[in-house]
Amino acid sequence: MRRVSLQLLAVVVVMLVAAGCGKFGAVYKGSSTSTTGASTTKSVTSKAFDAAAQKDAGCTPLEERKVQGRTHTTEKQKYTENPPSSGAHNPVPLDWGIYKTNQPDERWVHNLEHGHIVILYKKITTDQKTQLLKYVKRDPFHIVVLPRDKNVKDGIYYVAWDKSLYCAKPSAEALQFMIDGSRDQGPELFMNDAKKK
């Protein structure tokens, strides 16, 4: 009887956690374009994110930041960092995938808490955007890509929970560096959305 009670309690806890975290409690599909054209490779590149790669893409050093909180709220936030890499956020994250328009910061900050990599771009050329999406589609799992007009600089920010990396142009090495070091490393993980093949 005690064993059945413990099993029932475990099921109830899992259901409550899933219900409180939006779509992350179910099998997760991402946006309609998240895996379109994805190759069968498991990585973006095998090249190192060394000094030459950083210089070539105009990257600044990785910023490791202090966590600014992680409570759920439906109120608009005034983040102290641009772009934010933590902080209070909307209870419902974005589906991971590729977006064509700006999305509320509060939504994608929730994705960071779940260990997703969020790529924010501003005023990049059509060719640069095509290149960026080509890199992402090689390994799109738990990655969100979207334009963000509020970015401090033109170019691309690769953001993870409490981390931000800026590059002036797309970099396969920068993306792989963030995937290797930060993907699925957030403080609140939901891993039952199996990796797409």
pLDDT digits (tens, 9 = 90+) for 120-157: 999 999 999 999 999 999 999 999 999 999 999 999 99
pLDDT-based confidence at 101, cuts 50/70/90? very high
Sign of CA dihedral 62, 65, 71, 73: negative
Please report where in the chains the tokens 């589609």 appear, as a residue.
Answer: 137
> What number of other Cβ atoms are within 10 A of residue 104's Cβ?
13
| pLDDT over 50 at 197, yes or no | no
| pLDDT over 70 at 11, yes or no | no
Higher pLDDT: 158 or 11? It is 158
pLDDT-based confidence at 189, cuts 50/70/90? confident
Question: Coil, helix or strand for 59?
Answer: strand
190 Cα distance to chain centroid = 13
The tokens for 143 are 């990655």
Residue 143 belongs to what H/E stretch?
strand 143-147
| pLDDT over 60 at 17, yes or no | no
pLDDT in tens, 27-84: 334 433 333 333 344 689 999 999 999 999 999 999 999 999 999 999 999 999 999 9
Query: What single letter denotes the amino acid at residue 138?
Result: R
The residues spanned by each domain of the chain are 28-182
| pLDDT over 80 at 10, yes or no | no
| Predicted pLDDT of residue 65 | 97
Q: Tell the burial category of 122 from Cβ atoms under 10 Å away from its Cβ (0-12, 13-18, 19+).
A: middle
Helix crossing, 172-182 with 126-138: angle to 10°? Answer: 40
CB 74 within 8 A of CB 89: no
| Predicted pLDDT of residue 107 | 98
Strands annotated E in 20-104? 63-64, 97-98
CA dist 110 and 116 (Å) reads 9
| Predicted pLDDT of residue 38 | 39
